[in-house]
Amino acid sequence: MTGTRRQLRTVPLALLILYTVFIGLVTLTPNQMDTGPGSFIAGLLEFLASHRVTAWISFDILEKLANVGMFIPFGLLVALQCGRSRWWVGWVAGIAFTCLIEGTQATLLSPTRFATISDLVTNSLGAGIGAVAGLIVMKIWPPRMDRVPVDHEVR
């Protein structure tokens, strides 16, 4: 792999590692995000309810949208890391990761966290959307052809 191609793969890998840690911190801590009165989420729901166009967005809908949105970057970054021919690994990795998260919540974190099929579905959907977005990005921006001569010598 040439220097330029190695750099292009290093950036998504670094972001993928950081984003995976972020998802782990959000989903695998013993306590859920603060949803009580005066919290950011309560304020956002109040704001949405005060407008006719967004009044239909309840806590459940917001949570589902957040789950989808949280896994889109994960699927995208995995797809970019794996390349055009294996873009689908972003979706499969998202499904596997969410199964690990939900399994951990159901067993180790069961006193404070809740594993749900809905989370499994929405997280997987987000990873799939991200993986397809990664494929589209790779189709739009094909790999840059380096002008460095290829060294055919075996070392």
pLDDT digits (tens, 9 = 90+) for 52-97: 998 999 989 999 999 999 999 999 999 999 999 999 999 999 999 9
Residue 40's pLDDT is: 85
Is the model's pTM score more than 0.95?
Answer: no
Residue 41's pLDDT is: 83
SS (H, E, C) the chain: CCHHHHHHHHHHHHHHHHHHHHHHHHHCCCCCCCCCCCCHHHHHHHHHHCCCCCCCCCHHHHHHHHHHHHHHHHHHHHHHHHCHHHCCHHHHHHHHHHHHHHHHHHHCCCCCCCCCHHHHHHHHHHHHHHHHHHHHHHHHCCCCCCCCCCCCCCC
pLDDT digits (tens, 9 = 90+) for 9-18: 667 788 999 9
